[in-house]
Amino acid sequence: MGGNTMKKVIAIFQTESRLFMRDFFAFFFTFAFPVFMLLLYGSIYGNEPTPYFDGQGTMDVSVPAYAAMIIGVTGLMAFPLTISTYKEQKIYKRFDASPVGKGMIMAVQAAVNVSMTIIGFVLLFVVGKLVYDIRIQGDWFTIALAMLLSIACIFSLGFFFTALSPSTKINNLLCYISYFVMIFLSGATMPKELFPNVIIKVSKFLPLTHVVNTLQGTFRNAPVGQYRDSLVVLAAVMVFCIAAGALLYKKKSWM
């Protein structure tokens, strides 16, 4: 990649970052809403160890769950909705004639949303540590790997929706339905220990449930066997969605 092309990529990254920050929905639900949930429920339940969560505090369990919610916002809403809008407005076609290319633009948009996801994580963890002294028993390397796999899975699902949808309206519908169903039934907004058995059984079919399981397991340094199935599900969804999405895009001419 030439120097001029790299400068253009950096400029596009900066522009896409500013657009993300100006999007109220993306900004609020990535940075503000998880912290608001943390402070609200923390003020009610505190973070004293409880047998209900196997000796962990409520916020110890909630922080990795809220981290999963952030992934849902960026991976199922911000990222795919941006792609579908750019497709409809034929913006990607304009970049086909440039050295950058539409593939690089999509990669930059993914990088922007991943960066915002990580910033949201850091903000959530810092507030949780300062206000409620959350306990993180796992090592950061394992936690980072779990986060990267979780991000890759949910982002690939959003990418698949954009490839599958014939229009922006259909894509938005798929993203909105999947996002709201998942954040409320996966344990991302409230502990799944509170769910009835029927909801728990249904939630096992939702990728975000396995994100919550994986992050909570790595945060408390649980044996891998306790969340191995979730790791397999996340990896399988990621591989399928990337492969299927790439195949669908090759057959489309409206990019």
- Residues with Cβ < 8 Å from 104, sequence gap 6 or more? 9, 95
Question: Which of 150, 148, 144, 147 shows the shortest CA–CA distance to 206?
Answer: 150
Let me know if residue 255 belongs to a domain.
no
Confidence at residue 151, expressed as pLDDT on a 0 to 100 scale = 98
Let me know if residue 36 belongs to a domain.
yes
Let me know if residue 81 belongs to a domain.
yes
3-state secondary structure of 166: coil
Let me know if residue 127 belongs to a domain.
yes
Calculate Rg over the CA atoms of the chain: 19
How far apart are the C-alpha atoms of 77 and 142, rounded to whole Å?
27
> In 223-240, which positions are buried (b, 16+ CB within 10 angstroms) versus exposed (e)?
eeeebeebbebbeebbee
- For residue 3, count CB atoms less than 10 angstroms from its CB and return exposed for 0-12, middle for 13-18, buried for 19 or more: exposed
Q: What is the pLDDT along the chain (255 residues), one digit of tens a residue?
A: 556 778 888 999 999 999 999 999 999 999 999 999 999 999 999 999 988 888 899 999 999 999 999 999 999 999 999 999 998 888 888 877 677 778 888 899 999 999 999 999 999 999 999 999 999 999 999 999 999 999 999 999 999 999 999 889 999 999 999 999 999 999 999 888 889 999 999 999 999 999 999 999 999 999 999 999 999 999 999 999 999 999 998 876 545
Confidence at residue 2, expressed as pLDDT on a 0 to 100 scale = 58
Confidence at residue 255, expressed as pLDDT on a 0 to 100 scale = 52
Let me know if residue 110 belongs to a domain.
yes
Residues of the domain holding 133: 3-250
Confidence at residue 225, expressed as pLDDT on a 0 to 100 scale = 93
For residue 196, how far is the Cα from the chain centroid? Answer: 25
Count of domains forming the chain: 1
Confidence at residue 184, expressed as pLDDT on a 0 to 100 scale = 94
How far apart are the C-alpha atoms of 108 and 18, rounded to whole Å?
13
Let me know if residue 172 belongs to a domain.
yes
Could you give the C-alpha distances from 223 to 123, 132, 142, 218, in angstroms and in order? 27, 25, 12, 8
Taking a C-beta distance cutoff of 8 angstroms, is the pair 130, 33 a contact? no
Let me know if residue 61 belongs to a domain.
yes
